[in-house]
Amino acid sequence: MTRGTVGRTGYRDISLYSPDRAPCRVDLSDNTNGWGMPPAAADAFSTAASAASTRYPSLYAAALKDALASYVGVSADMVTTGCGSDDVLDSSIRAFAEPGDRIAYPDPTFPMIPIFARMNGLVPVPVPLMSSYDVDVDGMRAANARVIYLCSPNNPTGAALSRRSIEAIVGAARGDQFVIIDEAYAEFAGVTVIDLIQRCDRLLVTRTMSKAFGLAGLRVGYAIGAPSLVAEVEKSRGPYKVNAMAERAAIAALGDGLAWVREHIELTIANRRRLIVELAMRRIRPIESDANFVFFPIARALGLARAMRERGVAVRPFEGLPLVSEGLSASNGAALRISIGPWEQLAEALDAFDEVRAQCE
Ligand SMILES: Cc1ncc(COP(=O)(O)O)c(C=O)c1O
């Protein structure tokens, strides 16, 4: 028997997503909610665990869509959900583009985008950010892509893209183009571009309950767009993507849990400010952050993060980023990203950082 190749040829260059997820005493590496989840969501989850496990969940999470629609202030037919916003992004890319089409995205941005692009047979077209960390509007237009992905606030830089740039890109979208704006961190910025959907029926705004809502392990993401667009994403997504426990917990988080969520968004913003001050005292200037993390270029980021991990603190290192700014040029494309959580955890991170830096110098 001859040994053939296994799987789609387009998948040969895709490796499994593998950030260092080994458990760590203080984990500030993945921008989840360091305080946990709203107690109302935890209660709803436990109650649902015995009552809802045997039967299939609802096909397209209708009750969750109602709750999300009132949270963001749109009608329920403008909302779709998924198994994390990863699933919503993947399904949208598949719904909007044919294999061989191009998808343009700022570089750096959420690293799953080029992976979802290849999984769906699209050609990834990275467009370097401007030195201000805003999106390069002309570069995006010149990419001539079927799908334009923007992330605001952007991961990993943390800065929101300017409203002017987003409007310019959305306004210039041609009849066969789609724009996806990933607002995974919008709650920490206090701004959204959901209103632009009224002007453009080929704009989809994706959101997640993994960050401000503390439900990363339950995998609940959603998107808002014109009803005609949402219907196409649901075809591509398929039924039963939000499990029954996750749906109940998410609805509770959007109801009785909302006060908890808002309170912890405020705490996150206060601790973000405090961490930036502490870093400035160490002559480190993070990029202005609108998210629940701070990002700063620093040489030898990988080694620093490894040494911090040995001291029980996980942060996210980056190397090989495009040299779009003075800071990233000076660090040769290396940077650290620290998620914002309770202050005791950030204090531990600062202590570990001070120790490993002193050793490197
Ligand atoms: C910008 C951005 N979008 C989407 C996601 C995926 O979130 P989830 O699949 O947990 O909803 C993340 C996760 O870190 C992210 O940073």
Is the CB of residue 276 less than 8 Å from the CB of residue 289?
A: yes
In terms of pTM, does the model score above 0.75? yes
Query: Residue 343 has what pLDDT?
Result: 98
**Residue-level pLDDT at 131:** 97
C-alpha 309 to ligand 1 mean position (Å): 23
For 175, left (φ over 0), alpha (ψ -120 to 50), or beta?
Answer: alpha
Chain-centre distance for alpha carbon 234: 20
Per-residue pLDDT tens over the stretch 100-152: 999 999 999 999 999 999 999 999 999 999 999 999 999 999 999 999 999 99
The confidence score (pLDDT) of residue 309 equals 96
pLDDT at 4: 63
Q: pLDDT below 70 — which residues of the chain? A: 1-4, 361
Closest approach atom of ligand 1 to CA 155 = 1
pLDDT at 212: 98
Given the CA of residue 220, which atom of ligand 1 is nearest to it? Answer: 11
Look-up: residue for tokens 């605001």?
152
Would you state the pLDDT for residue 10? 84
Q: Which of 154, 208, 290, 295 to mutate to test the pocket of ligand 1 (most atoms within 8 A of CB)?
A: 208
Cβ pair 335, 297 in contact under 8 A? yes
**In angstroms, rounded to a whole number, what is the distance separating the alpha carbons of residues 154 and 291?**
8
pLDDT at 13: 80
Q: Which residues line ligand 1 (CB under 6 A)?
A: 31, 84-86, 110, 151, 155, 182, 184, 208, 210, 216, 221
Residue 42, token pair as written in the block: 């935890």
Which pLDDT score, from 0 to 100, does residue 51 have? 82
User: Are the beta carbons of 349 and 28 closer than 8 angstroms?
Assistant: yes
* Per-residue model confidence (pLDDT) at position 2: 52
DSSP state of 7: S
Q: What is the pLDDT of residue 183?
A: 98
Token pair of 259 as six digits: 């006060």
Tens digit of each residue's pLDDT (9 = 90 or more) over 180-190: 999 999 999 99
Sign of CA dihedral 252, 254, 255, 256: positive
What pLDDT is stored for residue 126 in this prediction? Answer: 98
